[in-house]
Structure 1
Amino acid sequence: MANTFLTVPFKDKDAAKGLGARWDAAQRQWFVPDGRELAPFAVWLPAGPVPVSTSRDVLSIVNEPAALAAPSQKGVSLSSLLGDVSRAVAQACKAGVWTLVEVVELRANGGHVYLEVSERDAHGAVLAKARAVIWQSTASAILPAFERATGAQLAPGIKLLVRVRPVFKAQYGFSLDIDAIDPAYTLGELEARKREIRARLQAEGVFAANKQLPPPWDFHAVLVVAPTGGAGLGDFQAEADRLQSHGICCFTYALSRFQGEGAPAEIRHALQAALGQGTGIGATPFDAVAIIRGGGAVNDLAWLNDYGLARLICDLPIPVMTGIGHERDSTLLDEVAHTRYDTPSKVIAGIEQRIHQRVGEVKANFAQVSNLAARASQAAKDQAGKFEMTVRLEALRHLAQGKQGASGHLAAIRMDAMQGVRKAAEQSRDALQAVKMAVASQLADARGDVPALWSQIAMGSAHALRTAAKENAALKDTVLERARQEASRARQSSGDALDTISDSARRLVCSAAADFQALLREITGQGPEKTLQRGFAIVRSQSGKPLTRVSQAMDGAAIEIEFQDGRVAATTKKTSLRKKPHGERNIQTSLRRAAAACPDTARSARAQH
């Protein structure tokens, strides 16, 4: 029996291949190999009577479900059974069905888009899950239109209203073929989420809290919240770094994910950590917070429509500036922030504009102050000139008046001085005469009192000398007795100390002698045989005399080396002198110290050695 050719559309080629169809490159057509059942390929058979098959068709399966439980005695192949199921699914769902789904996973391969879609309840539990596919021919038509209408891209987490056709394939199982997407539903679902959060914030009375804060008078420190490595962050930093390098404004960056599951929570944590507080409420060292992100799809930006993140911005005590996406993009953060800019570049431009404004005001104020100071300085100079002229005139006038008055006062002073000098001279003569008379009277009285006072002094001195002599004699006896007692005690203490020192010295000398004798016995016990047994050797001259110095071994002289188990003849070669071994130096040092401590013992030890 010849091969049976099929009419397979391009979108069904994978299904036909999965059922066992083969491709004929010459005729460029799919065919069923000879010997295979044609029933699974009924939908692609050319017009005409369908060959009889041992398997029942889909209508009999649908109308007679009991037949599946009671197959014929021979049975049917698995491919036939699954082919019947495939036809039953295709017969039941000829037209597409509009279905609400949420994208769980997505991957593209060769122009085809493979998805995993699901349905969740209000608590996030999965109610249904299925595989879906958008074939290349369909994807190239519906995806660009969807992106143009919504600004969103297909990605995990997005909710869609899609038209699907259930397909069951024998090799790949059940899947959904998507041939249309309703963009209005996606836009409505995103907007509904924003409306819900907006209404909740308005009901709590905090929706406009950040907008009502006074704008920063100037910018000295700004906290920037942005995604890591974003293009918008690069545009922002290009200008921000220039301001920071000149010390105009300092920028602190808190980096976080801006899309994907858990992104809003990460942004909150990064913002709170940068503010140095657990709640994001309270005094901060920043003048403002800038939340920036480059452009992206609507569903990428939709992750920022989060109640927790929006409430945190509403509660911040400092103004928040946003620069998210492009001009047409709008998120809930833009609505609750103090100031909204279209792009990150415009945020830094706004900061620069405010700084330029304050600099202009400072320059204008400085110019105004300079002008006022110049005018005040000129007025003060003019007033000072007038005062100087007035002072000069008044000084000249007072000087002239003073000269006239000084002449009259000088003549009066001279008259008064002459009279005072005459009176003083007369009073001085009278006082000198009175002093001379008083001195003569006192001198005469003193001469009469001197003999009596001299006798009294002589008697007192003699009595004091006798008293002192008696006291000195008694004190001398006391001092001598105390000196004798102290000398006796000193002799006793010296004798005791000398005995102690002598005992200690004798013990030390005996201990040193014993140590020395032990050391000497150790040294004398190290004879040549023991030395040879420890791995040493004795070097002798050709005449058999031991050599102990390098100088005794002439260069090229014949020598004999004695080991533990025999002797070996050798020839010398002179090298540099080496220092005396450390052990030998220590032994000689010990001998000298022992000799000094106990000469007799040392002499006997040297004799033994």
Structure 2
Amino acid sequence: MSAPDPIEQHLTLSAYLTQIQKAIRAAVPDSCWVVAELSDFKRRPNGHCYMDILESRDGAEVAKARCTMFANVAGKVLGEWQQATGGLPQAGMNVLLKVRADFSPQFGFSLMVTGIDPSYTLGDMQAKMQKIIASLKERQWFDLQRGLPSPGGFWRVAVVAPHEAAGLADFRRDAEQLAAAEVCGFEYFSATFQGRDASDSIRSALRTVHEQHQQQPFDAVCIIRGGGAKSDLAWLNDANLAAWVCRLPVPVFTGIGHEIDECVLDLVAHRRFDTPSKVIGFIKTALMSEASTARAQVERANGMILRLVSGQAPHLDRAWSTFSRRVTETLHGEHRQLLQQQSSLDKGRDRLLSQQRMALQLAQDRFSRLGAGLCVAERQRGLFAASRVASLSRALIAKEISRLELACTVYDKTNPLALLGRGFALVRGPGGEIISSAQQARDAGKLDLAFADGHVIAEVAKAQ
């Protein structure tokens, strides 16, 4: 097999990619409007914009492309976008782009963006919001907040807002005045209102609010954000977040910061305000109205009391005079009764003391007589016991003396020394054993004869 001709069979990479460039330009020469999701958007300091777009189907990515919008186009396109939406395109938005396919041998394939239609994105946001509203109405959650009774007063209010937001500063300036006057207390919960984490962040803050509400109830919950682009409202059009607001058992006030446009949170809230300042203004007005109502009620009550007192003054004077007289008479009567009772008590006390003294004297005399009789009886019993003990002791001693004399007599008769003294001898063998028969004496041969005055060794002579 022969090798291919290098000139006829091979191309340089740049030449091959140039052919692809020409083919793409020939196949797709014109621009086209394309719908896609914006997954990334970056604007460089030189004015150029770089975007990534994608298409998803059933949660899976089915197409993806890189886009470029040069500065000379971006200035006009983004100006129109900002005029319509109030901000820049952001990741997560569905956009309608006018693009032209472009292929560069050096930089590869990309789509050149020549236009972005803001009305499509705003319409998509509106369609998404309507879909959320329909879902809430189907579940009968949409009107739950408006069905809650309006707060009868504002003593404790929860505030959910971005950390260090401009609108929050305006809100806190008036809220701190109310808190310093101890009219109303405010608890603040920070949350993110932009980006993909906005829904999770706000729901987490509302979950904390709900937990604290179980311990110590809130009168209202304020969800506020100061200003921002119109397109930023898209992050608040979330079904899960709207469901949380609907089912919260506390009236929710919203002050998102847009006078004309609104998000789904404004539609489901108990009351919607344009700005955070109007939310705190409503609370201040309600508190002032409540205070004015209370002041008016107090003034009316004071007036009624004064009129009643003025009309009843003569009657009260007569009643006071009658009351004073009767009190004086009652006090005098009670004083006389107290004196009589005191005299009766003194007499009864003296009589009782006299009776107790007599009873005590009688008891003392009886005790003395009983004590003397008891002493005589005990003394007699002691003498009798002593006499009996002495008699028993003498009898016992006599008995023991008789026994001792008998023991001495037995001892004298059985004492070996006494027997030896009467002519008897104690016979032992050579080993000290007692010899008690003649045969034992003959067998021993030599005997030890113990007498009263000593020992004699004797030998036994054999019989002839």
TM-score in terms of structure 2 length = 0.68
Please state how far the C-alpha of 1:257 moved relative to its aligned partner: 1.0
Residue pairs, 1:152-163, within 5 angstroms: 152-163=87-98
Where does residue 54 of structure 2 map in the other structure?
118
**Pair 103,391 (structure 1): closer, same or farther in 2 beyond 3 Å:** closer
Q: Deviations over 1:545-568 (max 9, x none)?
A: xxxxxxxxxxxxxxxxxxxxxxxx
Q: How do residues 201-216 of structure 1 correspond to structure 2 at under 5 angstroms?
A: 201-216=136-151
Matched, 1:316 2:226: no
- Root mean square deviation, CA, Å: 3.0
Instruction: Identify the residue that residue 288 of structure 1 maps to in structure 2.
Output: 220
Confirm or deny: 8 A CA contact 2:87 2:231 kept in the other structure: yes
- Measure, in 2, the Cα distance between the counterparts of 1:259 and 1:477: 122
Q: What is the CA deviation profile of residues 360-417 of structure 1, one whole-angstrom value per residue up to 9, with x for unaligned ones?
A: 00110111111111112222322223456789999xxxxxxxxxxxxxxxxxxxxxxx
Does residue 471 in structure 1 map to residue 407 in structure 2? no
Counterpart check, 1:274 vs 2:184: no
Which residue of the partner structure matches residue 259 of structure 2? 327
Matches of residues 222-371 of structure 1 in structure 2 within 5 Å? 222-276=157-211, 285-371=217-303
Is 1:150–1:186's contact at 8 Å kept on the other side of the alignment? Answer: no
d(CA) in 2 for partners of 1:304, 1:247: 33
Change in Cα spacing, 1:364 to 1:141, as seen in structure 2 (3 Å) is: same
> More displaced, 341-350 or 140-149?
140-149
User: Could you tell me whether the CA contact under 8 Å between 1:162 and 1:178 is conserved in 2?
Assistant: yes
State the Cα distance separating 1:293 from its structure 2 match: 0.7
Equivalent residue for 2:309? 377
Amino acid at match of 2:72: S
1:81 is the counterpart of 2:16:
yes
Aligned counterpart for 2:36 among listed residues 101, 105, 121: 101
Task: Output the CA distance in 2 between the equivalents of 1:392 and 1:266.
Answer: 74
Q: 1:393 to 1:201 in 2, by over 3 A?
A: closer
| Alpha-carbon distance, 1:147 to partner | 2.2
**Residue 301 of structure 1 aligns to which amino acid in structure 2?**
L
Shift of 1:75: 2.5
Does the 8 A contact of 1:227 with 1:293 survive in 2? yes
Aligned partners of 2:151 and 2:251 also within 8 Å: yes
Amino acid at match of 1:352: K
Q: Report 1 or 2 for greater relative contact order, CA contacts < 8 Å, sequence distance ≥ 6.
A: 2
How far off its partner does 1:283 sit?
8.1
After superposition, residues 157-236 of structure 1 pair within 5 angstroms as: 157-236=92-171
Any idea what SS the aligned residue of 2:160 has?
Answer: strand
CA distance in 2, matches of 1:463, 1:189: 125
In 2, the alpha carbon distance for the partners of 1:81 and 1:169 equals 11
How far has the Cα of 1:463 moved from its partner?
Answer: 9.4
Classify 1:212/1:463 alpha carbon distance in 2 versus 1 (closer, same or farther; 3 Å).
Answer: closer
Query: Structure 1 length normalisation: TM-score?
Result: 0.53
In structure 1, distance between residues paired with 2:157 and 2:386: 97
Deviation string, structure 1 residues 455-485 (Cα, Å, up to 9, x no partner): xxxxx999988744322335679999xxxxx
Does the 8 A contact of 2:122 with 2:231 survive in 1? no
The answer to whether the 8 A contact 1:323-1:343 is kept is: yes
Amino acid paired to 2:239? Y
Q: Is the 8 A contact 2:38 2:93 kept in 1?
A: yes
Please report how far the alpha carbon of residue 72 of structure 1 lies from its aligned counterpart in structure 2 after TM superposition: 4.0
Could you tell me the percent identity over the aligned residues?
36
The equivalent residue for 2:426 is: none
For 2:315 and 2:68, the matched residues in 1 are separated by: 95
Q: CA deviation at 1:329?
A: 2.8
Give the letter aligned to residue 84 of structure 1.
Q
Contact 2:21 2:102 in 1 (8 A): yes
2:82 corresponds to which of 142, 147, 151: 147
> 1:547-558 counterparts in 2 under 5 A?
none
Q: How many Å apart are 1:201 and its aligned residue?
A: 0.8
CA distance in 2, matches of 1:390, 1:468: 81
Cα 1:471/1:336, change in 2 over 3 Å: same
Which letter maps to 2:192?
R
The 5-angstrom pairing of residues 462-501 of structure 1 reads 467-473=377-383
- Could you tell me which runs of 5 or more consecutive residues in structure 1 were left unpaired when the two chains were aligned: 1-68, 395-459, 481-609
- AA aligned to 1:326 is H
Once the 2 structures are TM-superposed, how far is the Cα of residue 299 of structure 1 from its aligned partner? 2.4
How many residues are matched? Answer: 343
Can you list the C-alpha shifts for 1:300-321, whole angstroms capped at 9, x where unaligned? 1111111111111111222110
Change (3 A) 1:96 1:373: same
Unaligned residue ranges in structure 2 (runs of 5+): 327-369, 391-464
Distance 1:221 1:75, change over 3 A: same
SS at structure 1 position matched to 2:281: helix
Give the Cα–Cα distance (whole angstroms) in 2 for the partners of residues 241 and 463 of structure 1: 98
CA shift in 2, pair 1:317/1:467, >3 Å: closer
